[in-house]
């Protein structure tokens, strides 16, 4: 069976650290393998800048090739099924990276695919981003364990969930900071499951000041993701007091770092004076997409 990368829930701490170690070596300029003659199919139902370019550059720099497909300009637009599409792509390519609306579509793809399927973002998870975030925090703070990592925003959606899983698997204390509304929190059953499998703590905090208090790492994401446009007014009202502003970050630990997967909607989830401050590491974080994705591709496609 092909190794897939759909969520960090499927990966034990040891394997996550192995991918991160490989990424560190690659970033330091050590050659850790090549993917000559191999092709990654990149299938997008949603737009992308970072995921598309970083995977394409990663494949090029490893000696392979990336083929870009989107659901508007392929036969998916004419109702060819995902299953049939996968059965064709696996005849040409060595791995598939897909960005989809529904995580269940990735699960269906991986259940039939003979080649690895990588989650390039779904409604539930964004594990490639979390790998880059973990590497960034290790570089800046020297470790993950025992850090207070506070995520502000929609904790029921992909970045909130992936942050919670990835950082707590590596022993951080994760605070999910959001309004007291069920729709912004991971469902209780999932939260229970995570708390059983992870090593660090996962706490929910509705008070933004308490969530920020002594935080080592502050993370936020867009309040409105593609597909949620109809909820814009409601969400903007609900998340207003969770905006990562210079006033709020006064409560964080001295020397805290600020992460955002980007794109950022400046003036909404974060203010200019925070994202452009010395505490912000968002562009190092974006760069680390490239190094961690090279490591991930080698991990999935090269035999040990």
- Which residue ranges make up the site for ligand CP (CB under 6 A)? 48-51, 121, 129, 261-262
CA torsion through residues 123, 48, 218, 223, sign: negative
How far apart, in whole angstroms, are the C-alpha atoms of residue 145 and residue 64? 35
Residue whose tokens read 């190794």: 3
CB of 128 to ligand CP, least distance (A): 7
Contacts of 136 (CB under 8 A, 6+ apart): 257, 259, 281, 284, 285, 288
CB of 210 to ligand CP, least distance (A): 28
Closer to ligand CP at the Cβ: 171 or 268?
268
> Two tokens at 174?
């994760």
Could you give the strand order of the β-sheet that contains 117-119, starting from the edge strand earlier in sequence?
65-70, 39-44, 95-99, 117-119
CB of 36 to ligand CP, least distance (A): 26
Question: In degrees to the nearest 10, what's the CA dihedral of 10, 290, 257, 269?
Answer: -80
CB of 52 to ligand CP, least distance (A): 6
- ∠ Cα 233 238 244 (to 5°): 110
Q: Would you please indicate which residues are annotated as catalytic (active-site) residues?
A: 99, 126, 129, 221, 261, 289
Closer to ligand CP at the Cβ: 128 or 298?
128
Q: 223 with 91: CB under 8 angstroms? A: no
Closer to ligand CP at the Cβ: 173 or 280?
280
């Amino acid at each position: 069976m092909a190794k897939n990368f759909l969520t960090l829930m499927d990966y034990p701490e040891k394997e996550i650290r192995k991918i991160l170690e490989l990424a560190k070596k690659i970033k330091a300029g050590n050659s850790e393998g090549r993917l000559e003659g191999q092709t990654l199919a990149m299938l997008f139902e949603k737009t992308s800048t970072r995921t598309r370019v970083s995977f394409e550059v990663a494949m090029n720099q490893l000696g392979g090739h990336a083929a870009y497909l989107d659901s508007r300009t392929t036969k998916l637009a004419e109702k060819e099924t995902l299953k049939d599409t996968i059965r064709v792509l696996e005849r040409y390519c060595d791995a598939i990276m897909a960005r989809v609306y529904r995580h269940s579509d990735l699960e269906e793809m991986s259940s039939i695919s003979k080649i690895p399927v990588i989650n390039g973002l779904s409604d539930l998870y964004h594990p490639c981003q979390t790998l880059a975030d973990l590497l960034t925090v290790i570089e800046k703070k020297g470790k993950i364990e025992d850090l207070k990592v506070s995520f502000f925003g929609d904790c029921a959606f992909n970045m909130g969930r992936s942050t919670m899983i990835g950082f707590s698997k590596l022993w951080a204390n994760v605070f999910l900071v959001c309004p007291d509304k069920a729709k912004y929190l991971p469902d209780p059953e999932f939260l229970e499951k995570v708390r059983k499998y992870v090593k660090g703590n996962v706490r929910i905090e509705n008070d933004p000041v308490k969530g920020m208090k002594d935080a080592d790492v502050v993370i936020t994401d867009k309040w409105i993701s593609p597909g949620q446009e109809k909820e814009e007014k409601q969400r903007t009202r609900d998340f207003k007091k969770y905006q990562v502003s210079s006033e709020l970050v006064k409560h964080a630990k001295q020397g805290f770092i600020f992460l955002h997967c980007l794109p950022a909607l400046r003036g909404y989830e974060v203010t200019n004076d925070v994202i452009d401050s010395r505490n912000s590491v968002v562009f190092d974080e974006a760069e680390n997409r490239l190094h961690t994705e090279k490591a991930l591709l080698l991990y999935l496609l090269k035999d040990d």
